[in-house]
A and B are shown apart, each in its own frame.
Chain A
């Protein structure tokens, strides 16, 4: 029986009422009296020296308040990077300055040069066109392998080369891995590209800076997944504004997918300029600007080698990856191809020896950082593609090869520094076989053949590390931040509850799912619980939402705070019931004395806390409000098995997805409907990466796919109805809810199954095709079929 509330219920998303009826309040909906508008004049070339900027004529244009250039930011901090990676030789990564507005050089198309503040946006744009720029173009660095050759043009003159770092992991395993590969019975090698993506949240980025002349307080309204992180990075490192004078508000946010984690120059500009011009400053990104200023995702070039013994047991794995950083280091960029990628290379398999080498490279392109999955899709893609290729080379069933090498005993310490607490990979594979009807494939294959179509089946597994992250561990790994989460549970006098959380919901459904947890704990209706988030003035210091962490870390903080509340409420109840505290039980919103019919309702206890007439004031304070910070002691490890069936049109190369099934193990589930929705969305993005999306640059560093005319987003008719299941549950062992996180799984698990399926279809049709790089456009598939 489905529950009608609490943990495990498919409660409808309460936030959707306002989102779907146009009543959301997004950053662009915020307009402050007397505000100005800023338009950024951005570089239209990838690499150039700024020889001169003449703003004289533009400054005289109607409505212009002030024009800023890089010179106005001398002495102002650089946009900081939040993670320092140490290279193979123990040296810190190369870390270039990232000015708010370009100083001396522009380094990618979209790099902001001037900011025109005017009474209206159109006036700002008019004036920007009147600015005279003298740019001396330099050769652009686009190709990563060329970028690290001797003599390559440098993106940053003050760095020794374009190599940010050369990371080896685990460096001590390097020789043993080389040796194992040399002596292996079989080695499967695959070279591949993980295509560069643009996140494209429905809501573009927006920032509104406000400064109060009376108090010298600043407020930044911004489209962020983590307002406290922005307050810390911008306040402490860029503008030098202490936290108590700076409020950051991220109201309703229309999708993030990672690209709204980072601190961007436009945020710092609007905050800084608000004081400079003495008026609020607003910036709303156009879609065109988003393509050239939102941090991009992925963009890896990888060679992977999988060694096996004579019985097809995996014996060693070696990878070499070039990871594009773009022109500057975005907030978490260095961590993505290293700690969120290298640590996942064991996947679901007990490969004893693994060595991962990553060369992070500066190029004259938009900075690259986390995008849904962030490092883990790149790890999963290469691993699951090479395992599939190995099975085909060995002539064994790809599922059986996987099963043979599955990790089956937990906890399991991988050779890449993480310890999986729980999992059951055979169980999810069994479930996949059922919901994907794998045994019926041959019949469907025959039916497709009748219609002249090539059918293929692709299967893969995935594992991810979510619930980011133990602060002491990530500190050792180079993080310049803690990764705990916070919550304040504020019980109101009449028993309703407001939860101020450091997590931030921008599509995930926290406003629905978090109250389900509180409702379950206390036994009240979930409508009595409200989630408050997205404002540094109301929530305790929190680290925000990304890495599928909110329920596992933010939810755990909320549980800890609620436990404190309940403990205090029991003290009050014991006083009211004149019973021993140890005998008080809370169930269905009633405090009872164990073994008696004496009880007092939740609402009576909470009222007593705020109207403490009959109250143990000498023992406890009035009020009922508690805060907790939760720092996890391990990552969580969701896993699953996915399959995809495709049809390829042999005449055109067009791939259509006929079916897609996903069997996930997310541990315990709070709201199954929301979890299904997260998986659906993730798969849609994975299918987008596999078949459609590609951010393409030409050799001069111009973006060729800078609008929806050329950047193909998945649409409803590109994706099938999904069959998703999350009944396989091995609860997380180290957080109070036993939850693992589900936000990124779909995007991590789906690209390899699509590509595996297309390769399968082509091989079944007799084509000697072992790999096609994503996106698998009709033209590429046709070319692969036709040599």
Chain B
């Protein structure tokens, strides 16, 4: 990797200041950024680690019962401490391997918005609120395409708030090499309707499957989507699966998630 300066602030305020300098880059758990640096594919002047900011770590319950997770909280911590939202804790427990789960953070994952990552499906499927040092962003506005989000330069995810659904489940069909989601579907049933978020499948990144949401809101059973089909247009085709196969998996996994949640 190229040489860089390293800062490890202990408050959000100091982190924001550090990130204001030219070519500064925030570092979460480093599970994407560090390999990128090692391959010399990025050359930040300064890396600003968010790992020393105590106020950005941990899981708690908000005033309206939502599960609130600090942006610098590792997947392992979410897996162990977000038991009030079992589907979310379960999802976190299957990201990567133990080394990844003990380093990677929810804020890092959501800020990166890898089109095959798991957390974006949970956040979008739950319509979580992404809290930054500047504002609150609804998940529906936050995800803007592959590796693209509503975050502005220097903006830090300090917390993510998940409203807890009545029922939810995440189904991940892994890409055999990376074990990222070849397709992942997060289904959450709230009192006002069902949300279905799909990761891994689309060239546009994580997205909702609105036809399924409509059908499942009327009837929360796998049968309710049996008549639907997912068009392959715009889906990812690569070594591991054609767009048609991914389209097929979206439906299969949605059905499985509903069955598992119900």
List the interface of chain A (C-beta within 8 A of B).
125, 129, 288, 651-654, 691-692, 694, 696, 704-705, 708-713, 777-779, 782-783
**Bound-complex Cα distance A696 to B239 (A):** 8
Within 8 A of A (CB), among B52-84: none
Sort A-B residue pairs by CB-CB distance and give the 6 closest, nearest first: A712-B177, A712-B176, A779-B241, A779-B245, A709-B178, A651-B252
13 pairs, CB–CB < 8 Å, chain A vs chain B: A652-B252, A654-B173, A692-B176, A694-B239, A696-B239, A709-B177, A709-B178, A710-B240, A711-B177, A712-B177, A777-B241, A778-B182, A779-B240
Closest to B253 in A: A652
Contact present for B176 and A777 (CB under 8 Å):
yes
**Bound-complex Cα distance A779 to B232 (A):** 14
Q: A708-B177, A709-B178, A710-B178 are known contacts. Are A783 and B40 too (CB-CB below 8 A)?
A: no
Closest to B252 in A: A651
Closest to A711 in B: B177
Contact present for A710 and B239 (CB under 8 Å):
yes
Contact present for A779 and B252 (CB under 8 Å):
no
Contact present for A710 and B242 (CB under 8 Å):
no
**Bound-complex Cα distance A691 to B240 (A):** 12
**Which A residues touch B177, using CB under 8 A?**
692, 705, 708-713
Is B248 at the interface (CB under 8 A from chain A)? yes
Is B225 at the interface (CB under 8 A from chain A)? no
**Bound-complex Cα distance A643 to B177 (A):** 26
**Bound-complex Cα distance A633 to B252 (A):** 59
Closest to A126 in B: B2
Is B249 at the interface (CB under 8 A from chain A)? yes
**Bound-complex Cα distance A654 to B241 (A):** 12
Q: What distance in Å separates the Cβ of B261 from its nearest Cβ neighbour in chain A?
A: 18
Closest to B178 in A: A709
**Which B residues touch A709, using CB under 8 A?**
177-178
Q: A288-B39, A705-B239, A710-B239 are known contacts. Are A652 and B249 too (CB-CB below 8 A)?
A: yes
Within 8 A of A (CB), among B112-167: none
Closest to A649 in B: B252
With A710-B177, A777-B241, A783-B245 given, can you name 8 additional A-B contacts, CB distance below 8 Å?
A652-B173, A696-B239, A705-B177, A712-B176, A712-B177, A778-B245, A779-B241, A783-B242
Closest to A125 in B: B40
Total inter-chain residue pairs, C-beta < 8 Å: 46
Contact present for A708 and B178 (CB under 8 Å):
yes
Q: What distance in Å separates the Cβ of A37 from its nearest Cβ neighbour in chain B?
A: 15
**Bound-complex Cα distance A630 to B241 (A):** 52
Contact present for B248 and A782 (CB under 8 Å):
yes
**Bound-complex Cα distance A758 to B145 (A):** 38
Closest to B183 in A: A652
**Which B residues touch A783, using CB under 8 A?**
242, 244-245
**Which A residues touch B176, using CB under 8 A?**
691-692, 712, 777-778
**Which B residues touch A652, using CB under 8 A?**
173, 249, 252
**Bound-complex Cα distance A694 to B239 (A):** 9
Closest to B173 in A: A652
Contact present for B239 and A704 (CB under 8 Å):
yes
**Bound-complex Cα distance A704 to B177 (A):** 12
Closest to B245 in A: A779
**Bound-complex Cα distance A125 to B178 (A):** 27
**Which B residues touch A654, using CB under 8 A?**
173
**Bound-complex Cα distance A692 to B179 (A):** 12
**Which B residues touch A782, using CB under 8 A?**
245, 248
Q: What distance in Å separates the Cβ of B236 from its nearest Cβ neighbour in chain A?
A: 12
Closest to B39 in A: A288
**Bound-complex Cα distance A652 to B182 (A):** 12
**Bound-complex Cα distance A113 to B182 (A):** 37
**Bound-complex Cα distance A288 to B244 (A):** 31
Closest to B176 in A: A712
**Which A residues touch B178, using CB under 8 A?**
708-710
**Which A residues touch B182, using CB under 8 A?**
778
**Which A residues touch B239, using CB under 8 A?**
694, 696, 704-705, 710
Q: What distance in Å separates the Cβ of A39 from its nearest Cβ neighbour in chain B?
A: 11
**Bound-complex Cα distance A696 to B245 (A):** 19
**Bound-complex Cα distance A704 to B239 (A):** 8
Q: What distance in Å separates the Cβ of B177 from its nearest Cβ neighbour in chain A?
A: 4
**Bound-complex Cα distance A710 to B177 (A):** 5
**Bound-complex Cα distance A654 to B244 (A):** 16
**Which A residues touch B248, using CB under 8 A?**
782
Closest to B97 in A: A715
Centre residue among A696, A712, A783 by max chain B CB count within 10 A: A712
Q: What distance in Å separates the Cβ of A726 from its nearest Cβ neighbour in chain B?
A: 31
Q: What distance in Å separates the Cβ of A722 from its nearest Cβ neighbour in chain B?
A: 20
**Bound-complex Cα distance A652 to B250 (A):** 10
**Which B residues touch A651, using CB under 8 A?**
252
